[in-house]
């Protein structure tokens, strides 16, 4: 088998695996295809997702289902203001149960030591606790005292935020938001979807999620994602797109100039392009396209744009700003 | 088909789509800017209609349309060549076929060295290559007419409508140009009358005559420059003639008669004999001189005349004065008759009915009245001058026996009167000369007007040949037609085409000579009809019909001083009327002709033709 054929097969397998995963999740989660794909994208990108939506939309259910379908270890942390870093990372305790009566210190791993971590209502915890989680997210390791513990791959954190109850919360600072690969908006289900949800949850119909992908499968898929090539013009488009979110850039739109204080970081370009690659693989293509970039742009950049005071005061949504950029930015430029 | 072929096909399709996109951008850009020149042109056309502007005035503004038009072209070029991605065409293909950038990516990866291509890149290229046959660049990059073109089209329609629209304006139209049919005069005649005009101007010593000569010259120049039509020319000629005729102040005949009678009486005295002779011979300057000398002699008392001589002089002066008075009475009588006749005609004019029958008579009376009025004025003037002279002579006679010096002064005054009369006569002579020339000009113009263009062409050719130019004689000779009655056929003996016909009333003598059959002949062949003239070689009584004439042979003396007249004339006929020899012969002949015309009674109409003949054959410079 030639390299080309092998690559073709790899992509086909990837597409099939993703399809299977989608189907399995879809057995539990009704609708929300974009959010499901976004979450899967974050997993395959080896990064994390910030999920925003009102309570009761199935955020926890989504993550749990994903963990079950992937046969990965899952933990859930409910963030509260009194939650301490040790509560999520783990703590050192004295273990005197050992034979011989000699007591010894033992590190007890916190909930972050899982493959998939659901950080529920992450903005309710204090910044100190938030930053403890964010270190784990970024470095995929945890340092307690003088000991560093490597987190097991794949490692995926899905943090949620409730956009309504902002009283007494600690909004994530920009530096920490930037660590999330995608920010996904959980929409309210449609009427038909609600019918389906009611049918599934208020009857004795019980759905058992099967493990469709192994840990190795996920790691293999993550590697394939990294190998997907991006043509120069596509990459250029992604870069221009991110640069256009900066008010001082020549291609910045009127909304950007008026309502944006700081544009997306280079990490934003990485997220956009990785998201584009994964989307290309979802479609069975061998390279990312401009359309892939465009689709990835919203979830990858919406939490990376820092609105100005005027933007916040007038309630101009980040999505609106990005939509205008996507609409006006020409695909090609010499 | 190999992957390489597919790739090249991909590239071609992408290039084609790229070109079409450039064209589309150029069209869009041009369409967006097109309203600018159209709007500008509409404004200019609108202003041109409303103000209104002439084409010449509007032209610079219309040229100004070029600036916005150039702007349109620049915009189109900028649109076409604006910097775009090299994969613009490929992206368009991807969009059209829904290929999610497969073509653009494949082309981008294919630019990389093979070693740098990953398996996924190669797979992407292969994936795109498989789709190459189905690509349609024409559809992927359709060239649609831009929407902006609709605005331009609307503007264009408006502009055309504006151009067609007729804005009613009150315009003062220039008076229609009257096509003047200029009076034509051949260059040869123009030159002739120029010369005549210059001579008249030179000889004129009276301001009135000088002004008339200037007007004559101006008239000739205007005719030469084709500035006047026939009517205007004849109007001006008539005006000039009338002025000259009216300003002829003296009744010359009456004055001459008066002076003759005066001379007859003065001749009786030895002292005034020379003055009398001069007066009788109309040498007024000499008469003046003689009277002055006599006056001087009386005044200075040097070698004074004897008493008997003085008595004779007194008697002669008295008689002269009396004769002058008698003559004045005659003139006065004539003047009275004229006045009565004038009054009678005036009455007739006032009483006459306006019936057509009497119209002609009235017009004739009117002319007669005018003539009489002029004659009366002249008679008055002549009488006035003569009576002045008479007074001086009478005064001299009265004072002669008492005071010789005073008598001398009176005689001096009489001499001055004679001088004035002489000058007046001279001026009148000049005016008459000018009148004669004007009549000649009128007649020439009338004749040429009859002949039309053909006549003018003939005159032109004749003038050229007369100066020694034009065609050489002797080619395609046409026989002259001297036998036609009433026409003098003037040919140059060469038969070089049509001659100049100078119409002559009556019949020609029948001895008109035919032109030669060719240029070598001199037209010596006899005409068909019998002649009424005489053989110039015949001597004796021409009326003697018995044939017994006396032949006299006169042999010319060869002085060796040049060619004979006949040779000169023959040469002139061949080469044109130039050269000193010809001039001399011409002068001799013309002098003879003038003398004959003065001595013999030749009708004035005929005199014109004789003079015209000599004008035509006059020597040219």
Q: What is the pLDDT of residues A134-191, one digit of tens each?
A: 888 888 888 888 888 899 888 999 988 877 777 778 888 888 888 899 999 888 888 8
- Give residue for tokens 């659901």: A118
pLDDT value at position B191? Answer: 84
pLDDT value at position B280? Answer: 77
B52 preceded by cis ω (within 30°)?
Answer: yes
Minimal-distance CA residue of chain B relative to A227: B120
CA distances, B527 to each of A323, B486, B489, B496, B521 (Å) = 120, 14, 12, 18, 14
Task: Please give the structure tokens belonging to residue A79.
Answer: 């963030």
Domain boundaries, chain B: 3-164, 252-452
User: What one-character-per-residue DSSP string does B429-454 give?
Assistant: HHHHHHHHHHHHHHHHHHHHHHHHHH
Is B120 close to A331, i.e. CB distance below 8 A? no
Task: Flag whether pLDDT at A192 surpasses 70.
Answer: yes
Average pLDDT, chain A: 88
Minimal-distance CA residue of chain B relative to A277: B120
Percent of chain B with pLDDT over 90: 0
Residue A189, classed as helix, strand or coil, is: coil
The minimum CA-CA distance between B135 and chain A, rounded to whole Å, is 18
Over residues B367-396, the mean pLDDT reads 69
Task: Please give the structure tokens belonging to residue A322.
Answer: 């990005």
CA distances, B176 to each of A173, A325, B179, B233 (Å) = 94, 72, 9, 22
pLDDT value at position B473? Answer: 44
Tell me if B434 sits within 8 A of B442, measured CB to CB: no
Is B105 close to A232, i.e. CB distance below 8 A? no
A203 touches chain B (CB under 8 A): no
Domains of chain A: 1-80+112-203+212-227 (3.40.50.300), 228-334 (1.10.8.80)
> In whole angstroms, what is the distance from residue B383 CA to residue B249 CA?
11
A235 touches chain B (CB under 8 A): no
Q: How confident is the model at residue A93 (pLDDT cuts 50, 70, 90)?
A: confident
Q: Sign of torsion, CA B87 B92 B95 B98?
A: negative
Tell me if B475 sits within 8 A of B461, measured CB to CB: no
CA distances, B167 to each of A93, B46, B58, B216, B599 (Å) = 105, 9, 16, 52, 78
Chosen from A277, A332, A333 to mutate, greatest number of chain B CBs within 10 A: A332
Minimal-distance CA residue of chain A relative to B82: A334
pLDDT value at position B247? Answer: 67
**Chain B residues contacting A via beta carbons under 8 Å:** 82-88, 91, 94, 100-102, 104-105, 108-109, 118-124, 126-127
Task: Flag whether pLDDT at A308 surpasses 50.
Answer: yes
> In whole angstroms, what is the distance from residue B402 CA to residue B412 CA?
17
Q: Which residues of B touch A15 (CB under 8 A)?
A: none
Stated as kind and residue range, the H or E segment containing A170 is: none
Is A285 close to B87, i.e. CB distance below 8 A? no
Task: Flag whether pLDDT at A268 surpasses 90.
Answer: yes
pLDDT tens figures, B309-340: 767 777 777 776 676 667 667 666 766 776 77
Chosen from B105, B111, B122 to mutate, greatest number of chain A CBs within 10 A: B105
Q: Sign of torsion, CA B155 B161 B167 B171?
A: positive
> In whole angstroms, what is the distance from residue A250 CA to residue A15 CA?
39
Q: Which residue has the higher pLDDT, A232 or B467?
A: A232
Count CB pairs under 8 A between chains A and B: 88
Residue B507, classed as helix, strand or coil, is: coil
Tell me if B497 sits within 8 A of B450, measured CB to CB: no
A1 touches chain B (CB under 8 A): no
- Cβ neighbours around B614 below 10 Å, total: 14
Is A4 close to B83, i.e. CB distance below 8 A? no
Q: Phi and psi at residue A144, in whole multiples of 5°? A: -125, 120
Q: How confident is the model at residue A15 (pLDDT cuts 50, 70, 90)?
A: very high
ipTM, two decimals, is 0.84
Percent of chain A with pLDDT over 70: 98
Q: Phi and psi at residue A121, in whole multiples of 5°? A: 50, 60
The minimum CA-CA distance between A286 and chain B, rounded to whole Å, is 5
Over residues B410-437, the mean pLDDT reads 80
Chosen from B120, B124, B130 to mutate, greatest number of chain A CBs within 10 A: B120
Q: Which residues of B touch A293 (CB under 8 A)?
A: none
Residue B464 φ/ψ region, left for φ over 0, alpha for ψ in the -120 to 50 degree band, beta for the rest? alpha
> In whole angstroms, what is the distance from residue A69 CA to residue B316 CA?
176
Minimal-distance CA residue of chain B relative to A294: B100
Percent of chain B with pLDDT over 70: 70
Average pLDDT, chain B: 74
> In whole angstroms, what is the distance from residue A58 CA to residue A63 CA?
9
A7 touches chain B (CB under 8 A): yes
> In whole angstroms, what is the distance from residue A51 CA to residue A53 CA?
7
How many helices (H) and strands (E) chain B has is answered by: 21, 2
> In whole angstroms, what is the distance from residue B547 CA to residue B550 CA?
9
Is A4 close to B85, i.e. CB distance below 8 A? no
């Amino acid at each position: 088998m030639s390299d080309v054929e092998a690559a073709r097969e790899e992509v086909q397998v990837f597409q099939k695996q993703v399809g299977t995963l989608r189907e399995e999740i879809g057995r539990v989660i009704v609708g929300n295809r974009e959010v499901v794909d976004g979450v899967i994208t974050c997993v395959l990108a080896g990064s994390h997702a910030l999920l925003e939506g009102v309570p009761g939309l199935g955020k926890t259910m989504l993550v749990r289902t994903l963990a079950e379908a992937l046969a990965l270890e899952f933990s859930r942390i409910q963030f509260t203001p009194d939650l301490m870093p040790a509560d999520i990372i783990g703590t050192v305790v004295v273990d005197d149960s050992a034979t011989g009566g000699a007591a010894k210190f033992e590190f007890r791993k916190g909930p972050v030591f899982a493959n998939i971590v659901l950080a529920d209502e992450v903005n309710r915890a204090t910044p100190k606790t938030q930053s403890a989680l964010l270190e784990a997210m970024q470095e995929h390791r945890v340092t307690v005292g003088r000991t560093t513990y490597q987190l097991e791959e794949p490692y995926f954190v899905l943090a949620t935020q409730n956009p309504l109850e902002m009283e007494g919360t600690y909004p994530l600072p920009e530096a920490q938001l930037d660590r999330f690969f995608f920010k996904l908006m959980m929409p309210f289900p449609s009427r038909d979807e609600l019918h389906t949800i009611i049918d599934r949850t208020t009857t004795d119909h019980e759905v058992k999620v099967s493990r469709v992908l192994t840990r190795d499968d996920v790691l293999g898929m993550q590697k394939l994602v990294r190998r997907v090539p991006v043509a120069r013009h596509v990459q250029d488009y992604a870069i221009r797109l991110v640069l256009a979110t900066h008010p001082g850039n020549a291609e910045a739109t009127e909304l950007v100039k008026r309502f944006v204080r700081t544009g997306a970081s280079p990490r934003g370009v990485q997220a956009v392009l990785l998201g584009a690659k994964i989307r290309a693989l979802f479609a069975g293509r061998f390279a990312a396209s401009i359309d892939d970039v465009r689709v990835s742009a919203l979830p990858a950049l919406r939490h990376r744009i820092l609105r100005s005071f005027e933007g916040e005061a007038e309630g101009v949504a980040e999505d609106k700003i990005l939509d205008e950029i996507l609409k006006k930015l020409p695909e090609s430029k010499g | 088909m190999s992957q390489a072929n597919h790739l090249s096909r991909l590239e071609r399709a992408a290039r084609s789509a790229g070109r079409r996109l450039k064209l589309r951008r150029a069209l869009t850009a041009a369409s967006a800017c097109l309203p600018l020149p159209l709007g500008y042109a509409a404004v200019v056309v609108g202003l041109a209609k409303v103000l209104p502007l002439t084409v010449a005035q509007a032209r610079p503004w219309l040229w100004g349309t070029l600036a916005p038009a150039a702007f349109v072209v620049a915009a189109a070029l900028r649109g076409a060549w604006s910097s775009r991605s090299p994969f613009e065409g490929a992206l368009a293909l991807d969009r059209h076929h829904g290929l999610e950038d497969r073509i653009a990516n494949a082309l981008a990866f294919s630019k990389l060295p093979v070693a740098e291509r990953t398996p996924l890149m190669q797979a992407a290229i292969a994936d795109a290559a498989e789709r190459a046959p189905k690509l349609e660049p024409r559809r992927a990059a359709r060239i649609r007419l831009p929407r902006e073109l609709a605005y331009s089209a609307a503007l264009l329609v408006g502009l055309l409508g504006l151009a067609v629209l007729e804005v009613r304006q009150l315009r003062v139209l220039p008076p229609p140009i009257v096509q003047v049919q200029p009076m034509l005069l051949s260059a040869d005649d123009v030159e002739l009358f120029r010369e005549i005009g210059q001579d008249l101007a030179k000889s004129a010593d009276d301001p009135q005559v000088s002004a008339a000569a200037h007007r004559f010259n101006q008239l000739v120049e205007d005719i030469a420059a084709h500035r006047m039509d026939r009517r205007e020319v004849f109007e001006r000629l008539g005006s000039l003639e009338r002025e000259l005729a009216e300003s002829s102040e003296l009744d010359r005949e009456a004055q001459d008669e008066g002076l003759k009678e005066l001379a007859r009486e003065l001749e009786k005295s030895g002292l005034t004999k020379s003055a009398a002779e001069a007066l009788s011979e109309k040498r007024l300057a000499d008469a003046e001189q003689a009277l002055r000398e006599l006056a001087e002699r009386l005044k200075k008392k040097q070698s004074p005349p004897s008493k008997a001589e003085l008595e004779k002089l007194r008697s002669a002066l008295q008689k002269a004065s009396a004769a002058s008075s008698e003559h004045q009475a005659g003139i006065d009588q004539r003047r009275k008759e004229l006045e009565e006749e004038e009054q009678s005609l005036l009455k007739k004019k006032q009483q006459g009915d306006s019936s057509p029958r009497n119209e002609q008579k009235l017009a004739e009376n009117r002319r007669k009245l005018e003539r009489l009025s002029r004659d009366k004025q002249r008679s008055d003037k002549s009488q006035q001058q003569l009576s002045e002279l008479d007074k001086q002579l009478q005064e001299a006679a009265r004072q002669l026996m008492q005071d010789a010096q005073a008598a001398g002064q009176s005689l001096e005054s009489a001499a001055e009167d004679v001088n004035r009369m002489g000058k007046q006569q001279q001026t009148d002579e000049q005016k008459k000369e000018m009148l004669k020339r004007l009549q000649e000009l009128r007649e020439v113009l009338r004749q040429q007007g009859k002949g039309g263009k053909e006549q003018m062409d003939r005159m032109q050719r004749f003038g050229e040949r007369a100066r020694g130019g034009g065609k050489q004689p002797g080619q395609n000779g046409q026989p002259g037609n001297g036998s036609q009655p009433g026409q003098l056929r003037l040919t140059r003996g060469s038969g070089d085409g049509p001659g100049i016909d100078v119409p002559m009333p009556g019949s020609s003598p029948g001895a008109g000579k035919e032109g030669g059959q060719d240029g070598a002949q001199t037209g010596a062949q006899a005409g068909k009809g019998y002649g009424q003239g005489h053989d110039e070689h015949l001597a004796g009584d021409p009326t003697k019909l018995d044939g017994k004439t006396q032949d006299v042979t006169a042999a010319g003396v060869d002085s060796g001083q040049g060619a004979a007249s006949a040779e000169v004339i023959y040469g002139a006929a061949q080469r044109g009327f130039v050269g000193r020899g010809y001039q001399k012969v011409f002068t001799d002949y013309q002098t003879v002709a003038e003398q004959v015309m003065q001595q013999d009674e030749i009708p004035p109409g005929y005199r014109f033709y004789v003079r015209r003949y000599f004008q035509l054959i006059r020597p040219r410079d």
